[in-house]
Amino acid sequence: MAFAGLMGLLGSGAARAQTPGTWGSWAIGTVSLPGSVEKKWGGYVEVQARANGLLRQYFYNELKGGLSYDLDKNFTLLLGGGRYNTYEAPGPLTLEKRLWQQLVLSQYMSRLKIEHRYRVEQRWFRYRTEDSTAFRQRLRYRLNAFVPLNHQTVTNHTVFLSVYDEVFLNPRGPVLERNRFYVGLGYQLDRHLSLQLGWLRQANYSQPAFRQGQLVPLGTVTKNNVVLTLQYRLSHQGSTPRSETLPSQQD
């Protein structure tokens, strides 16, 4: 109910003009089914909303999910898909449909946990203003570190620190399309429920170009965001859960 209320607050400014502020806000809700010792298949579904201000000026949402398979306790494959909507008064501005293939490598080094995520995306866009469509591909790599603060592992009643950096690469250029840096504090209530609150700095890069005989250099637009993530983890009936599952954001 609390998450639904937050989504409502994010959406309260949808009909107003969108003037980006210094700080934005993201709300992310995820239900996942990790693989277990006996059953390697899993999956997840997620809903996300973003706003240009703190709990106001809603402009974007995501609805996505995926099917995963654990090669072993350290390697996980995932096939995902989703629908992404960007809004600008009076209604939807851009609709994106996306597929992706993903490999996650997890390393458990005593107290420090490291996750490497490699993703290849196929993206289909439809634009309201131009009444046109486009197709793009993108490569992503994320390095995510977790440090449990009051336990040796991320288990019941664990406070943990999460830090990641992710680069987005466009094969058609600009090669470096986006960068995200995130620092968050989380709490793992039990083997099912975890919560994270963090700061995310997103930088978008534009391609250098010649305009009116002059070179316009690489441009950068940055945005700070407060990110609230609620995750609920299901479990395979009658199977042995993994000794430790990292509370990674699926975004």
Give the model confidence (pLDDT) of 124-175 as tens digits. Answer: 999 877 667 899 999 999 999 999 999 999 999 999 999 999 999 998 877 8
Asked, for residue 198, whether it belongs to a domain, the answer is yes
Q: Indicate the pairing of strand 23-33 with strand 219-233.
A: parallel
- Residue 41 CA, chain-centre distance (Å), reads 21
Question: What is the dihedral sign for C-alpha 104, 96, 203, 58?
Answer: negative
Total H helices, total E strands in the chain: 1, 13
Q: How far is CA 166 from the centre of its chain?
A: 10
Q: For 203-226, write each residue's pLDDT tens digit.
A: 998 765 545 445 444 578 899 999
| Residue 182 amino acid letter | Y
Give the CATH number, domain containing residue 45: 2.40.160
Q: Is residue 244 part of a domain?
A: no
* pLDDT (0 to 100) of residue 3: 46
The verdict on residue 36 lying in a domain is yes
Question: Which stretches of the chain are DSSP H helices?
Answer: 2-11
Q: Which residue pairs, CB below 8 angstroms and at least 24 apart, start in 165-173?
A: 166/117, 166/140, 166/141, 166/142, 167/140, 167/141, 167/142, 168/138, 168/139, 168/140, 169/138, 169/139, 169/140, 169/141, 170/136, 170/137, 170/138, 170/139, 171/137, 171/138, 171/139, 172/136, 172/137, 173/207
| pLDDT at residue 26 greater than cutoff 60 | yes
Nearest by Cα to 104 from 80, 126, 88, 129: 80
- Alpha-carbon distance of 227 to 251, in angstroms, equals 11
Query: How many domains, the chain?
Result: 1
Question: Residue 249 domain-assigned?
Answer: no
**Cis? peptide before 208, omega within 30° of 0:** no
Higher pLDDT, 2 or 234: 234
Exposed (0-12), middle (13-18) or buried (19+): which is 27, by Cβ within 10 Å?
buried
**What is the mean pLDDT of the segment spanning 221-234?**
96
The answer to whether residue 194 sits within a structural domain is: yes
- 239 found inside a domain: no
Q: Could you read off the pLDDT of 89-99 as tens digits, one per residue?
A: 777 889 999 99
Q: What percent of the chain has pLDDT over 70?
A: 86
Residues spanned by the domain of 190 = 2-233
Whether 246 is covered by a domain: the verdict is no
Task: Produce one character per residue of 152-189: b if its CB has 16 or more CB atoms within 10 Å, e if not.
Answer: eebeeebebebebebebebeeebeebbbbebebebbbe
The pLDDT value given to residue 208? 56
